Amino acid sequence: MLNRLKEEDVIKLKAAAWDRLHPERIVFFFWGVFILGAAATGVAAMAAYNSPQPVSGGLMLTVQAAIAVLAIQFIVSLLFSIGDTAYRLQKLQAVLLNVVTVKASVDMYVVFFVLCEIRGVPGYVSAAGAVMLAGGILFFILSLFRGMKRAGSGAFRASGQGLYNFKQSAAYVSIPVIFAASVFGGLIAKASSDLLLVTGQPVDAYMLLLLAAILQYSIAVAWPEFFLFAYCKMRFPSFTMKKERPARRTLR
């Protein structure tokens, strides 16, 4: 689908590569998602390790893996902040941009599942979270194929409409909204029948799940541009830029 792309088919992506996806700006993005991940992982780790009741082995392993990945993420962010690394390793940076973005999309789910376990939230709430997570992953795949299709149809040419032409993509954008509304509607109906909303027990878990879903599905909408950017970075030399050197002053 992408092997037929020519440089004139990705003019808008090239413009993004020199603007919001510039190597130096990606470094700031790396630090931003690291801070987000640090906050989420820190809360999950503190809750898991300080829980009065033991946390299941699988969930504890997930928290430990999140801590290890966060440490690697810190090293990556620091590495690309040093000298000209962001320019010298642009292709690697583009690949890692996709990796950290996908990771950021699921950070809040770790906090959600830890909260559900240590708070003794009913099992159907965590099950709904798993459904939302799986739905978000499927939406990532759908968004990727949509982005590739739009690239092949000329959406990124100079006269194209780009990736985010939402006026003509109402059905696509409404998919996660309808899905999330259905899941939350079922949760509220079940909680109401169990009188849990009256006692307020799962409300904080609901809010956390809502936040996790909004983050994941929003990233899924934007992520195809990052994927296509990395692809073009690998394929087209014009996507690789050099750091501008300050002009030397001549003595008179």
Q: Quick check: is 231 in a domain?
A: yes
pLDDT in tens, 149-191: 888 888 888 877 777 765 666 677 788 888 888 888 888 787 7
pTM (two decimals): 0.87
User: What average pLDDT does range 75-93 have in this prediction?
Assistant: 94
Over residues 90-117, mean pLDDT: 94
Residue with tokens 């929003």: 218
Helix axes 203-235, 123-152, angle to 10 degrees: 20
Q: Residue 2 domain-assigned?
A: no
Q: What is the per-residue pLDDT for 185?
A: 84
Give Dmax (Cα) for the chain: 86
- Average pLDDT rounded to a whole number, residues 197-220: 81
**Average pLDDT along the chain:** 86
Could you identify the residue written with the tokens 């008179």? 252
- Rounded mean pLDDT, 139-145: 92
Domain hosting 224: range is 7-239
Tokens of 81: 């902040």
- What Å distances lie between residue 191 and 52, 117, 121, CA to CA? 25, 17, 11
Whether residue 198 has pLDDT greater than 60: no
Q: Tell me the average pLDDT across 35-46.
A: 95
Number of structural domains in the chain:
1
Whether residue 12 is contained in a domain is answered as yes
Angle between helices 170-193 and 203-235 (to 10 degrees): 160
